Amino acid sequence: MAQTPTVAVYKRIHSVLLIPLLEALGTPSRSDDEPSSKRIRRDLDSYSDLIANACFDDPQAGRTDSAELKKRLLKRVFEIASNPETKDASRRKMYALWKERAEEDDL
């Protein structure tokens, strides 16, 4: 994503992976009686097992909670955007993503 020469690849990773994952991390567990559109529910459900068993960098430390995982994932996006190898266009977009999500969560 950081080094892709095409906008299409960046957009695809952004819209299919990062945004749904960050949304799922920011969404509290849904109880069965809460209404939800099928698309939103499907997108969030596709990441529920991943989130439920996620650890950031040390599997021995056990599961990382959603808020901490989201915070560390956003920090990693910022770090990758800061790399000198990151293309300028991708860097700007990644910083914008970080800023938008960090402001939402007051990180």
Average pLDDT over residues 35-39: 48
The rounded Cα 34 to chain-centroid distance in angstroms is: 24
Q: Is residue 47 part of a domain?
A: yes
What is the pLDDT at residue 79?
96
Reported as a single tens digit per residue, the pLDDT across 53-104 is 787 777 777 788 888 889 989 999 999 999 999 999 999 999 999 999 988 8
Its domain, for residue 59, covers 7-105
The owner of tokens 């695809």 is 12
| Position 2 in a domain | no
Residues near 43 by beta carbon (within 8 Å), at least 6 away in sequence = 20, 23, 24
pLDDT at 33: 43
pLDDT at 107: 58
Question: Each residue of 72-102: b (16+ CB within 10 Å) or e?
Answer: ebbeebbebbeeeebeeebbebbeebbeebb
Domain count, the chain: 1
Q: Indicate the pTM of the whole model.
A: 0.74
